[in-house]
Amino acid sequence: MGPLSVSVDRGTLCLALNGDIDFVNSGPITQAIREAVLQGRPTLVRVDVAEVSFLDSSGLGALVAALRVATDCGAVFRVERPNANVYGQFEIAGLVEMFGLADGDGGRGCARR
């Protein structure tokens, strides 16, 4: 399995990230997410980060780019199930509220295929 899996269910685009999300793979991840959003035109984009073990600034940039393309398409964007380290990265970057995590609900995550 690669660092990104994509599924669609009734207008919801579910993106599950895993492993290290960094400068090595953030470009292809950003492009794959962009294509999935533009092709599917979902009403909701859910990004499950429960299996992300490392996230650097390039990984944060990929998530911000995903947020932008989702918003441009009129979709709600939500990041779900960050572990403590990843959540800490979101806090430091000031992205907790923007990623829909401010209410403390980590979400139920995406179904793995």
79-96 residue pLDDT tens: 999 999 999 999 999 999
At 105, the pLDDT band (50, 70, 90 cuts) reads low
Q: Could you give the CA distance from residue 113 to residue 108 in angstroms, rounded to a whole number?
A: 15
Separation of first and last alpha carbons in the chain: 10
Give pLDDT, residue 72. 97
Domains of the chain by start residue, with CATH: 4-93 (3.30.750.24)
31-61 residue pLDDT tens: 999 999 999 999 999 999 999 999 999 999 9
Q: φ and ψ at 41, to 5 degrees? A: 45, 55
- Average pLDDT, rounded, for the chain: 92
- pLDDT higher than 70, residue 73: yes
**Residue 104 burial class via C-beta count within 10 angstroms: exposed 0-12, middle 13-18, buried 19 and up:** exposed
Q: What is the pTM of this model?
A: 0.90
Q: Could you give the CA distance from residue 30 to residue 66 in angstroms, rounded to a whole number?
A: 7
